[in-house]
A and B are shown apart, each in its own frame.
Chain A
Amino acid sequence: MPDALYLSTAIGLPYLGALVTALLPANARRLESWLAGAVALLTLTMVWLCYYPTIAEGGVVRAEIAWVPQLGLNLVLRLDGLASVFAVMVAGIGLLVVLYARYYMSSDDPIPRFFAFLLAFMGSMMGLVLSGNLIQLVFFWELTSLFSFLLIGYWQHSAQARDGARMALTVTASGGLALLAGVLLLGHIVGSYDLDRVLASGDVIRAHPLYLPALVLVLLGALTKSAQFPFHFWLPHAMAAPTPVSAYLHSATLVKAGIFLMARLWPVMAGTDAWFWILGSAGMITLLLGAYVAIFQHDMKGLLAYSTISHLGLITVLLSLNSPLAMVAAIFHTMNHATFKASLFMAAGIIDHETGTRDIRRLSGLNATMPFTARLAMVAAAAMAGVPLLNGFISKEMFITETLSASTAPTLLHSLLPLGAALASIFAVAYSLRFIHGAFFGPTTGDMPHTPHEPPQWMRLPVEVLVFGCMVVGILPAATIGPFLDVAVRSVLGEATPYYSLAVWHGFNLPLVMSLIALAGGALLYRLLQRHLNAGIDGTPLLRRLDGRRLFDRVMVFLSWRFARTLERLLGTSRLQTQLRLMVCVTILAAVLALAPHDFGLGVLQLSPADPVIGLVWLAGSLCALAAAYQAKYHRLAALVLLGGAGLAVCITFVWFSAPDLAVTQLLVEVVTTVLLLLGLRWMPKRLELAGSGRLLSRLRRYRDFAIALGAGLGLTAISYATMTRVSPEGISRFFLERAYTEGGGTNVVNVILVDFRGFDTFGEITVLCIVALTVFALLRRFRPAPESIGVPDQQQGDVRNWMMVPAVTMKLLFPLIGVVAVYLLLRGHDLPGGGFAGGLMLAIAILLQYMAGGTRWVEDHLRVHPLRWMSAGLLLAGGTGLAAMAFGQPFLTSYFAYADLGWLGKLPVASALIFDIGVFALVFGATVLMLIAIAHQSVRSQRAAPTPPPAPQEER
């Protein structure tokens, strides 16, 4: 169990450290770096504790924490040889980077953020290499992308950093998504995401029809992360990060994640032609391209970046060869590259820190001014070039050996391998020479912002440690790195581990000759190019046009700007008319598609003979509706009046077919809405028929809309006709008719349905009315009419009172009468046509008439209605009636009825539904009046504000 604890600590600790660091104050530099260092050291210790004795003996440490077991996703922490090598690199170099950053970072930078991101990144890398579950691996994979994005963009004020970070994230996160898809396919093939299960299913995977898609997707992830051609371009731009970040990300961690993944899945996915062709070609191109471009970089970090790309290509080529020996070389070179590249980045950072520039053209003679750093950098660069007695030499020689032995295979790519290896080695020597010669030799009077001097001793320590490592491994490989490499290789290859010898001297053989040729050739190449390089020309000869960044930017702009905008314009719209048209058309289509596959037939019922009177009413109603639609655009008043005609036809129809309740309600609703709309019309700006509106195009558009409307209308008619001509199903209506009186206590079935059977619907609908009234009120309170409708209209000019006298008096006299009718409608509702809704509307009409007759001011001086209180009371009354049932242990809205004996007045049916109906009454009244008042107050407000007319003769009230 301690193993599980160690492993979870190794992942959890960095995150915890990140969290704590983030919360520390910005000026606690010392504390933060100590904390970060301690975390890195502890993490390293944890890995070490697991390493001995289990891993060293070829075992695997494994811990499983349940997470989403249903989907086969558990946190599986799994440490084997390969993982432990990477974990040591992550934690060890992380420790050195923390120490280095302590001295590198300026006091102006927000330090907590830096260390927090760095530690979080470290945790993500640990999580990645310790993953024993493929989904978990993707999980941490994307986290490394995320935190590397934050680290690269650390200096967010610089545009370069922002662009570099964005590019890195875009490329690596896209790759991560591809990897997710690939891993899902692997899981599908194997039947588990567990790494152990997957590693045991190599033959199943390679034989599966989905092998190729899975391979391509997984490799897309690996190649983007490890900056392989054609995804290499993000890495140089990531150099905008602070140097400690580059030293960490681009030597041992981020870019090695891709290598780790390929090595991890090598046993199950490698061994096919597809594997070789994809990785071999990508790796070879990257190897050569990176090395070639590196020669011509003027920025030290740029040179190192391209050299990193090239070395990653080298490792990729080794992995592609499908040979166990090449696998050994790949892991070995990964370790070596991490050490010398990290130290070189740090050295470049020291130079930048102490001289103020990283431009090789401006640097010169540092060998004299900062001798110690210069020597360290020279050794590391020599390792990078593959000079004997340094670690880079041994793994590079293994690489050349492997390419030579692979070249016996028949394909062209195979036979070109040694040539490529030699060429790349020559380039590597050339750029290493450039790095050393350009910066450290020459006159001491370079064009440098600061006078160069040695850095603090502690800042140099990490470089010293790493360079020491390069030398020790280079001289005594088998005694130092040998056991670790062996454990790593065995964990990947298992039984298939080949015999290999780690030695400096293998006799005088072809690889050695090639190495020597490379050294000489590289020196010669550098000599030849020196004039060109000293000229200080930017860009790479022959490849000037191959600018990954420009291509990337263009693709991004195209994708997110032209392409997306065009498509959005083509596929979308912001016009209301178009949207409504689409909605109608889609609905027609949906209905047709639903009907089309079947035999759609009309029902069997016979039509009753048509009555000429109702036919005439309908003719008039239809004509009114058509005319209203025709006039709606420019003549709103006419359209409204015509709509009233159509509504009236509907009312008469209801009466005709014995539905007095509906008729009453419909009539009242017609009255109220028409009046409110008329009041609203006053504030609408006039709509004038423009000269161009009669053009052919707009006329065609109207015809098309007419056709759509006709189609929808006819379709709806057909469907309704078909529905009504069939025998109605055994539905629920009989139940209502039978029980309305016996159980609902009312003879008016419609009303009993509304307030009892489906009282909850009514309850909801009155809430809707209440909400609408509140919305109208809230909207109109802030409404400011258009300038052209502010003025007092012609009809209100002059003395209105005189010619409104007779109607006004009549309306005022009618007020009590209408009020009584309203209450009558309410009370009789349960048994006869009427009800709370109709009654409330009726009372509202009474108030409406007063406003029309006397004007807003007059009414409000005489009669104050508080619509908000009415609404609130109505809603609470209705709700309270329902709640009362709960007190008797019944569900909400359960009704109760009895007859109250009122002596000589007779018996009054008292149902709890009546109280509910009174609530409805109050709410409907309140809501309608609220809307009325909201509109009416517009004119009060505008008169108050409008400066013009002299006070109207009001004193006579």
Chain B
Amino acid sequence: MQHLAIAPILLPLLAGAIMIPMDDQRGRLRAALGVASALGLLAIAIALAFLADAGDAAPVFVYRLGNWPAQFGIVLVVDRLAAMLLLLSAVLGLAALLFSLVRWQRMGAHFHALFQFQLMGLNGAFLTGDLFNLFVFFEVLLAASYGLALHGSGVARVKAGLHYIAINLAASLLFLIGVSMIYGVAGTLNMADLAARIPALPAEDRPLLEAGAAILAMAFLAKAAMWPMGFWLAPTYSAASPPAAAIFSMMSKVGFYAVLRLSLLLFGAEAGASAGFGSTWLFLGGLATIAFGAISVLATQDLSRLAGASVLISSGTSLAALGAGQEAVTSGALFYLASSALAIGAFFLLVELLERGREVGADVLAVTQEAYGGKTEEDEEEVEVGTPIPATMAVLGGCFLCCALVLAGLPPLSGFIAKFAMLDGILNPQGLGQGAAAVPPDGWALLAALILSGLATVLAMTRAGIRSLWAATDRAVPRVGVVEIAPILLLLGLCIGMTAGAGPVLRYMQATASALHTAPSYMGSVVPVDGTTEARP
């Protein structure tokens, strides 16, 4: 049972390792293996979520790798937050993988292995309870994302992909600097141990630790695309192949996850003099990101750029909500995170179907194609989509509408509930009718930002939707396969499910937020309070 905690890392790793030497002749087997692994991950994530939700605030599993005591070895920690994010990445992974089966898997080498490693990196980052191990998994997921961002080649992809690589390498450098500084001052890498040591830190060491944390945060915030460090996001995501972009919609949540986990654990209410460190800056950065995202959403005419810009808004909203520092807002933000990740993933997949009319592969990188004697190893194949679906435009239109509604936070889908939960949390932090304290100015700012960014999204989505679905009447109806539309329907179906079952889902999020805001429950179960370390047998 205990081993379930590491399964989300090992399963994709082993699947990926087996896939590496498989060539295209065994493509079917490879694809089947990939889907089986994704399904397995989904099952494991569901089980973990149920187990995590059954207990109290403390993590359900603390998995000590190599059976070393927590401070010295590496631990994996499964709590509600980790389980929820595992579940999200499993769902998005499955959807993106299914989508890729029709044609994208053949657009480059080693797609399936890279995809499995991407899932492994994501899962590891969510699970680990060790700061340096977090770096390792960041590297895993980044390395895989480099491969996936470049998957399919083409001028735009390579250009954006190389920018992406350069920026993330710089961010990784910051990560290392930050971790080293924290280790140098606090003498531990285990997150829980670190949280336990921070309150007792001597005053002269505190500035160094906080500077280390600030530098570390920059690495995460660059990943979460906070303004002004997120300009790479929209070009990269919109140029990436749709399945890659769909899983990236989860990846940009990793940066936010790290900030969420660490800021509340290390600088929560119990952190002594460091309590609340940086939350003002998170809040302001989040607001700036929302503003920039809203501007980009308005300024773009292109569907995939629009999707990329929505990621910015989503990131900014999460960061600002976290910066607000209220448990009620955090739970709304978690709900929002889940709903927007699903919708953005679906949107990236959908965009490709909507724009399918265009010439595919016209942008192959190669002025020198003729120098190589025309076509080489992988020629573009005819678009073969399997069983096409009926009433294509109606289905695509419906899906577009759903994506737009979730992203704009309009009723009746989960985006509305998410926004409402955050707004209600801002206005009534203690709960509705539980003492109507005056709302602070930052609350008003966040309220305005949430509503106005929703408005900007409505405007942009309406314009884009009308142009691509209504105005282009003479265009050929794209051929869309069942296997391609099914993942989109799955993701949007979950958004609908999150609306109908908003009560239980939100209860889970509230329990998560409450556990996050009480760091000792996490610390206590990872590092025993009395200082004893279980001896290694």
Contacts and interface: CB of A to CB of B under 8 A. Distances in A.
B506 A891 contact: no
Given A70-B507, A187-B427, A716-B177, A591 B214 contact: yes
B476 interface: no
A724 B185 CA distance: 9
A583 B140 contact: no
Contact of A761 (B21, B74, B206, B417): B74
B110 A945 contact: no
Contact of B215 (A181, A191, A590, A770): A590
The A contact surface, by secondary structure, is helix
B187 A139 contact: no
Contacts of A893: 65-66
B163 A576 contact: yes
A579 B168 CA distance: 11
Interface string B384-416: 000000000010000000000100001110001
Contacts of B455: 173-174, 177
A774 B73 contact: no
Given A72-B433, A572-B292, A761-B132, A775 B229 contact: no
B256 interface: no
A443 interface: no
Interface string B361-383: 00001111101110001100000
A192 B432 contact: yes
B137 A890 contact: no
B218 A743 contact: no
A67 B502 contact: yes
A698 interface: no
A191 B435 CA distance: 8
Interface in A527-580: 556, 559-561, 563-565, 567-568, 571-574, 576, 579-580
Interface string B115-142: 0010010001000000011001101100
Interface stretch (B2-10, B28-36, B82-90): B2-10
A189 B298 CA distance: 34
A146 B412 CA distance: 10
Contact of A590 (B217, B231, B469, B473): B217
A764 B136 contact: yes
A215 interface: no
B360 interface: no
B39 interface: no
B38 interface: no
A140 interface: yes
A735 interface: yes
Contact of B166 (A576, A716, A764): A576
B3 to A, nearest CB: 6
B466 A162 contact: yes
B109 interface: yes
Contacts of B506: 68, 70-71
A818 interface: no
A633 interface: no
Given A600-B207, A736-B72, A166 B466 contact: yes
Given A169-B458, A875-B13, A894 B67 contact: yes
Nearest to A210: B439
A936 B210 CA distance: 47
B442 interface: no
Nearest to B66: A893
A833 B189 CA distance: 25
The residue among B20, B111, B462 with the most chain A CB atoms within 10 A of its own CB is: B20
A868 interface: yes
A598 interface: yes
B229 A583 contact: yes
Interface string B220-234: 001000011101100
Interface in B290-324: 292, 295-296, 298-299
A759 interface: yes
B18 interface: yes
B458 A191 contact: no
B471 A162 contact: yes
Contacts of B77: none
A31 interface: no
B407 to A, nearest CB: 13
A516 interface: no
B423 interface: yes
A774 B114 contact: yes
B213 interface: yes
B67 A169 contact: no
A875 B447 contact: no
A723 B411 contact: no
Contacts of B227: 571
B188 interface: yes
B421 interface: yes
B17 A759 contact: no
Interface string B226-258: 011101100100000000000000000000000
A801 interface: no
Nearest to A145: B410
A912 B189 CA distance: 25
A561 B281 CA distance: 30
Interface stretch (B146-154, B343-351, B488-496): B146-154
A778 B71 contact: no
Contacts of A735: 71-72
B411 A142 contact: yes
Contacts of A73: 420
A5 interface: no
Given A188-B428, A188-B436, A891 B64 contact: yes
Contacts of B111: 778
Contacts of A139: 411-412, 416
Given A177-B455, A784-B369, A945-B373, A582 B10 contact: no
A599 interface: yes
A781 interface: yes
Contacts of B140: 764, 767-768, 771
B147 A775 contact: yes
Contacts of B295: 564, 567-568, 571
Nearest to B151: A778
Contacts of A764: 124, 133, 136-137, 139-140
A180 interface: yes
Contacts of A556: 459
A691 interface: no
Given A757-B73, A768-B143, A876-B18, A153 B432 contact: no
B428 A177 contact: no
Contacts of B235: 574
A805 to B, nearest CB: 32
Interface string A174-198: 1011101100110111111100000
A664 B2 CA distance: 39
Contacts of B232: 579
A180 B422 CA distance: 13
A192 B299 contact: no
B503 interface: yes
Contacts of B6: 891-892
A177 B416 CA distance: 11
Contacts of B368: 784-787, 790
B16 to A, nearest CB: 8
Contact of A582 (B72, B228, B378): B228
B186 interface: yes
B117 A771 contact: yes
A778 B6 CA distance: 29
B451 A756 contact: no
A941 B372 contact: yes
For A188, A193, A559, which residue has the most chain B Cβ atoms within 10 angstroms? A188
9 contacts: A67-B502, A185-B427, A564-B298, A764-B136, A771-B143, A771-B147, A866-B21, A869-B21, A942-B372
Given A579-B232, A875-B17, 11 more contacts: A184-B424, A188-B436, A732-B187, A735-B72, A757-B68, A760-B74, A771-B144, A775-B147, A790-B371, A876-B18, A893-B66
Among all A-B residue pairs, the 7 with the closest Cβ atoms: A731-B187, A191-B433, A729-B187, A775-B147, A764-B136, A598-B207, A564-B298
